[in-house]
Structure 1
Amino acid sequence: MTVPIRRNVVRLDEFEELPSTWNGPHVALRITKGFTTLRLLPRRDRLGVRSAWPPHMYEYFDLVAQAEQGELERTMRQQNRVRIQPSANEIACMEAALGWPAQYLRAQPELCEAVNAVAFAHSRGLDAGWVTKSRGGYADAWRERHDEGCERIAEGLIKDRLKVF
């Protein structure tokens, strides 16, 4: 019997106050959330490999040995892992937000790169220092270009009269 799973998760972004017009920090937030949503989507390389069966069938003696070594809880957690999929609205917002740097910063590729790199780092809980380690340069310079790029994107969104979400 299949039981439908309800998503009664309280989302903090439902209660956040939206600005009246687009601004740089809100654009940065939306692009960062876009990268977070992208990371939650199932990867194509693993779609055909899934199975309803556990990766390994354990017998009674295996479970007893794992309990003695303290590994049983870790194995149980690994087998009961659930991945919550993003909603259709989150995916639509992601698709829109991740296209903004290429659309509005076409003439400034260094700003486009900074917006994407810093937003990607923020989506993983990292800061501009991580971008510096992986791409070189100075964290302050990456942050400044990111902020300037987000402000220019906000100006373009206002000009195009896109509704704030």
Structure 2
Amino acid sequence: MESFCESRSGLWAGGPAPGQFYRIPPTPGSLVDPASALHGGPITHTQNPMVTGTSVLGVKFDGGVVIAADMLGSYGSLARFRNISRIMRVNNTTMLGASGDYADFQYLKQVLGQMVIDEELLGDGHSYSPRAIHSWLTRAMYSRRSKMNPLWNTMVIGGYSDGERLS
């Protein structure tokens, strides 16, 4: 056994001792501080959203629900994108509007879209109500926030379920 370990030592020359971590040299432009990664420190996530949207408004009235938002995407203080939509149709009964980080909104839009497709594939005639979407969003956003990787959005959900208007 001793001769086997000695013959393999050339492979591991300069490597970590058993039970130790290999020190990865820092690379230019790396987002994670290698020293914190070696010691199990925190890994940084998005702390400053890049492209953001501002106001979203939801109004419930006698005839239904209205959700409105501007179409401006700001890159810091620069009004960079002037034609982005921050309102999505979730299904036939639910609309969602989001302010905050546009990338997080795109992520939620993709996940919600896939959830709706999966629900429709069941073919049981049921779909997500505005309350169900609200419940899922609160749990999803709380889960991400608890993992120190929050979704930087504020949501407005509106729609109708069983003849009742919700906003």
TM-score range relative to shorter protein: under 0.3
Which has more radius of gyration?
2
Greater strand share, structure number? 2
TM-score by length of 2: 0.23
TM-score by length of 1: 0.23
Bigger RCO of structures 1 and 2 (CA < 8 A, at least 6 apart): 1
